[in-house]
Amino acid sequence: MKFKYLFFDRRDHDLIGIVNSVYDADKMLGYTRKLYYPLFHPLGIKELAESKGLRTAYAIVYLLESMERGAIENRIQALQGLKDEILNTTDGSMPKNTARVLLQIMKELVRAKGNDVLQLQLAHTFRMAAFGKPRVIRRLLKHYHLLEMPEEWNQIAFDDHVHDANTSGRKSPTHLIMDAWIKGIRRLRVIYYHCIEPRFAAELIQAARIMEIDLRIGIEFWARYRDRYISFIWVSRGLPDVEAFLCFLAEPHVVEFMEQGREVLKYQEKYVLRLLESFNGQYLDEMCKDLDIRMQNLSPEEFLKFAAPGLPSVPHLGEYIHSLAVRAMEERIKALSRSFETADKAEQERIKGIVEKMDGFHTKDIISGYLSPLNHPLIPHPFSVSIDRDIPDRLKLDFKELLLKIQKLHHDFRITLKLGNLKPEDVVEILYDANGLVTRIEIINLKDFLIQEKDSVYTVNELQNALNAGSLLKLKRVVRQIILSVGKAEYPDEEDRLQKLVNILHDIDTLKNMYTVRPLKSRIGSDSTGKTHQAYSMGFGIINTLSGKAGKEIRKSRGDRLILPASINVSHRMTSFAVHELSPFIKWIIRALRWLPGVEQMLPVKKREWVFESFFLDMKSRGNIVTLGSFQKEGKNNIRLEIPGKEEGDTSVSWKNLNTKFKNCLKILMGFIPAFLCFLLTKDWWLLAYFGAFIWFGITGFRVILQSVLGGGGINRSSLTKWNDYVSWERLTDALLFTGFSVPLLDYLVKTLILNRGFGINISTSPLILYSVMALVNGIYLSSHNAFRGLPKGMITGNFFRSIISIPVAVLLNTGIGAILSFYNVPAIDTVLQKWAAIISKAASDTVAGLIEGTVDRFYNLDLRKRDISKKFSDLFETYTKLELLFPEKEELKILEKPEKLFNSKNSEVRDLAVMIIINSLDLFYFWMYLPRARMAMLDMVSRLTPEERTIFMQSQTILEEEQHISRLFVEGILGKNFSRPLSFYLTTYRSYLSGIRKINPALSR
């Protein structure tokens, strides 16, 4: 690539080095496996030991690696680390959506190992996304087919049927939960087949708790009904945490029940292995001949390794055959490429046809063409009713017997009937015979729904609505319609079916009463496995609970996402802060205006949430439920002829991949040129002609710096931070780019052409109108480019009104400058002020902006610091409470007075708790010295603590005086091998920190 130094940054290469070094490292994670490392705050002292990029890379790699490489506890720890590093520390106006994008990019970056160009592009994109610019984040959300979610994270997004790698899926439980969060899913139901292993359940529950996803674990069972098998999903309730669920699974009757399920899985495995053997004998040569490749017979042992840890299934076998076929194609394509160069035109066309067939060969072609039960009639299918002697006892049960056994597992549960190819007449019969045990219907299973007969689904929903309405007339009408349809269906057992339905019709009141207390609810699931050959990936969202941008995106790209013919009616509920939680000023306003109607609606909102109301299907129209994933076309195998001299275009040459410093210089130059030309061509005074643009840019630069310093810490910042540590240079260059174009707009077009020449308005005639119009136009311009950049509506509105507020400031500045010029007897004062009017207006606007936005940034930083410090306070007091429980006879608030006794305790739990207190103190110490507005936030929060809490806080910070012990912890690797910087920081500055916090309450520090 020419001029490669103009593209990408040194930090992009550093990030790739970090990711690849983690990937190539020893399988042991090292210090991140240590007990204490996760207890450090991501913005705390561990920033001095390892970069955020390294910590994020470690976490992502351990989530995405194979099941063999990482243990469950590693993946859970990695997920917790990811949440800390990205989710809880992302800045900007779209922190949740920014975190989703960063996670997605990092996943792609890890997977792109070996593709240097793609890794470089992704590393650069990751760093650009980390700034959190709304326009960039929205572009990347669209690129990765993610819908923008509301930052309140109150959307209704769910999936009631997904699978992980332990069944037929591709992702480990932790990886599945992370991807669900990236999609925006807040409620998830993960389904296992016939049984569940305790370790899988534990991983799922812990991962969901970390990501705050409402999780349900279900087990899918198959049972006999008439001449086939039907499917039920059992979901337990009343098991709130890992311990409760594991205790349930350890109960003897549950263990026995799960063991019977494992027999079914072994029976299924036996079937798949027989299918593999049959494929070797009947279809392998045929497939190889069709694709012009060579393959060895499939190995059962290698296949089982390929499927692990999942359950061997027909889809797994299809994927295994496909992977081997692609490997054989890659070998064959080398010979075909050599032959292509010397072949005649007819032979070249034949080779092209073969390559095209290879590239379009998919897993589903194998499953439908070679692994269909019709192709292997001598092998009994495990889930078709047969007389196979090896069939497990579980599969001999009819559904009524199975439901009775399930009922004994746990007192609180829900059973979902999976529709599959069931007809309405089947559903009525099953619901009646189940005697009310079936309380859910999977009304839409996306895999089935795409090929399902829609009229049957609609009739089932009508039956469901009639049952839930408790209307005997509606229910009778639906059942009678079903009976009439059976007469036209020509079933072999038609007489028996009709007799059964007539009996139900005569006992219709019993059927109705089954659902009087507990309604028959609907479930919607994607049945997603994370495989690329699925049409849509997991997740559904209710459109009106998503963000406004997401709604527009869905309407714009109608073909990419599926909008189901189903609607869930929801209502919007807002919870206001209680009056005692408000500030005294707000309380005073509320009391003063209490007599006004509707004043309660003005209370600050604490929480906004959506509440479910009702569900209905309408097959003739689109509803409000949309798939979160877009339509996935079947991918190609990337098989193509290797023709010498044919080069692909360089996709890395793009504006978005420019070197950051070079791009920032370009932005400044692009803004400076129109500003400089405008002053040069319109001003006759040399100072304005040649230096006007510099003055204009200086005002903007000073405003951004003033805003950043005021927001970050002002004059009371830590001695370890410089003023430029708070300045976002990306923000500064963006401001300079857009301010440059405002010069010809304000100075020439508005001030000179329209106002002066058009209406005769200038400094001499009407300075107030002049500055008012210029401020108004500037406000419109600011709001326009803010909207173009995708900034929040509040900021867009604020920037418009800040220009209005600047009008009196501009008039005051104009008067003051005029008075100074008059004092020095400068001639033609109005003419001078007219030339400087645009700069005066600009200075007034930017002064107001610097003060307002600096104050906004100040409160924003204070909120962030309160969030961070609150977390450490919570950890500190929780740890101290555990210490108090270990010393019941010790006088309260005296435990930390002699910390050396804790360090030397024979009780390992006491020693661990002492280290945890040190960790909290080190993080609070780092906050105080480095983070914007941390000092002010900590002083305020400590002042609000109870006397007992304040005592605990002060004593815990005094523990930092134990130099010898804390230094030994650093050297022994509490923060890993790179301990020199944090150790040096601690030894050189902790006394200054303790001196500062002792000023909070001198009486307590003695």
What DSSP letter does each residue of 628-656 carry, written as one string?
A: SSPP-PPPP-------TT-----TT-SGG
Average pLDDT over residues 865-872: 91
Do residues 190 and 153 touch, judged by C-beta distance below 8 A? no
Going from N- to C-terminal start, the domains of the chain cover: 1-144, 262-375, 658-860, 887-1005
Closest CA relative to residue 226, chosen from 71, 423, 413: 423
Is 326 a residue whose pLDDT tops 80?
Answer: yes
Task: Out of 375-379, 423-427, 433-437, pick the least confident.
Answer: 375-379
Closest CA relative to residue 218, chosen from 164, 284, 146: 164
Do residues 472 and 509 touch, judged by C-beta distance below 8 A? yes
Q: What is the pLDDT of residue 31?
A: 41
State which H helix or E strand residue 442 sits in. strand 438-445
Is 2 a residue whose pLDDT tops 60?
Answer: no
Greatest C-alpha distance within the chain: 115
Q: What is the pLDDT of residue 6?
A: 78
Sequence-distant (6+) residues with CB within 8 A of 709 are 717, 723, 726, 727, 854
Q: What is the pLDDT of residue 12?
A: 81
Sequence-distant (6+) residues with CB within 8 A of 48 are 926, 975, 981, 982, 985
Highest mean pLDDT among 253-267, 772-786, 837-851: 253-267
Q: Say how far apart CA 107 and CA 179 lie, in whole Å.
A: 10
To which residue do tokens 């005294």 refer? 584
CA 286 to chain centre: 45
pLDDT bracket for residue 401 (50, 70, 90): very high
Average pLDDT over residues 343-368: 88
Q: What is the pLDDT of residue 364?
A: 87
pTM equals 0.86
pLDDT bracket for residue 30 (50, 70, 90): very low
Q: What is the pLDDT of residue 1003?
A: 42
CA 987 to chain centre: 39
Is 139 a residue whose pLDDT tops 60?
Answer: yes
Q: Say how far apart CA 399 and CA 924 lie, in whole Å.
A: 60
Task: Out of 450-454, 694-698, 767-771, 925-929, pick the least confident.
Answer: 450-454
Q: What is the pLDDT of residue 211?
A: 92
Sheet strands (E) in 851-900: none
100 C-beta neighbours (distance < 10 Å), count: 26
CA 404 to chain centre: 41
Do residues 154 and 609 touch, judged by C-beta distance below 8 A? yes
Backbone angles phi, psi at 214, to 5 degrees: -75, 110
Q: What is the pLDDT of residue 478?
A: 94
329 C-beta neighbours (distance < 10 Å), count: 23
To which residue do tokens 């495995």 refer? 269
667-721 pLDDT per residue, tens:
899 999 999 999 888 888 888 888 989 999 999 888 888 777 776 665 555 556 6
What is the DSSP secondary-structure string of 281-293? HHTHHHHHHHHT-
Name all contacts of 770-774 with Cβ < 8 Å and 24+ positions apart. 770/837, 771/807, 771/810, 771/811, 771/814, 771/837, 771/840, 771/841, 771/844, 772/807, 774/746, 774/750, 774/810, 774/837, 774/838, 774/841
**What are the tokens at 637?**
């195998």
Q: Which residues pair with 542 in a beta bridge?
A: 625
Q: What is the pLDDT of residue 957?
A: 92
State which H helix or E strand residue 407 sits in. helix 399-407
Q: Which residues pair with 229 in a beta bridge?
A: 224
Q: Say how far apart CA 50 and CA 981 lie, in whole Å.
A: 10
Is 28 a residue whose pLDDT tops 60?
Answer: no
Do residues 5 and 659 touch, judged by C-beta distance below 8 A? yes
893-912 pLDDT per residue, tens:
888 888 888 888 888 899 99
Q: Which residues pair with 187 in a beta bridge?
A: 158, 214
893 C-beta neighbours (distance < 10 Å), count: 14
Give burial (CB, 10 Å; 0-12/13-18/19+) of 15: buried
User: Is the bond preceding residue 947 a cis peptide, omega within 30 degrees?
Assistant: no
Closest CA relative to residue 348, chosen from 638, 641, 636: 641
Of the two residues 98 and 932, the one the predictor is more confident about is 98
Q: What is the pLDDT of residue 17?
A: 78
Is 270 a residue whose pLDDT tops 70?
Answer: yes
Highest mean pLDDT among 106-115, 278-287, 728-737: 278-287
Give burial (CB, 10 Å; 0-12/13-18/19+) of 578: exposed
Average pLDDT over residues 795-804: 78
Question: What is the gyration radius of the CA atoms in the chain, in angstroms?
Answer: 34
Q: Say how far apart CA 482 and CA 463 lie, in whole Å.
A: 10
Q: Say how far apart CA 483 and CA 491 lie, in whole Å.
A: 12
Of the two residues 704 and 922, the one the predictor is more confident about is 922
Q: At what angle do helices 284-291 and 252-282 cross, to 10 degrees?
A: 60
Average predicted confidence (pLDDT) for the chain: 85
pLDDT bracket for residue 722 (50, 70, 90): low
Is 528 a residue whose pLDDT tops 80?
Answer: yes
- How much of the chain, in percent, has pLDDT values that exceed 70? 89
Is 150 a residue whose pLDDT tops 90?
Answer: yes
* Dihedral class, residue 214 (left if φ above 0, else alpha if ψ from -120 to 50, else beta): beta
Do residues 123 and 15 touch, judged by C-beta distance below 8 A? yes
Average pLDDT over residues 440-447: 92
306-319 pLDDT per residue, tens:
988 888 889 899 99
Q: Say how far apart CA 644 and CA 338 lie, in whole Å.
A: 10
**What are the tokens at 549?**
């941008």
- How much of the chain, in percent, has pLDDT values that exceed 90? 36
Q: Say how far apart CA 76 and CA 173 lie, in whole Å.
A: 10
Q: What is the pLDDT of residue 397?
A: 92
Q: What is the pLDDT of residue 251?
A: 94
pLDDT bracket for residue 32 (50, 70, 90): very low
Q: What is the pLDDT of residue 67?
A: 43
pLDDT bracket for residue 27 (50, 70, 90): very low
State which H helix or E strand residue 537 sits in. none
Is 605 a residue whose pLDDT tops 60?
Answer: yes
Is 506 a residue whose pLDDT tops 90?
Answer: yes
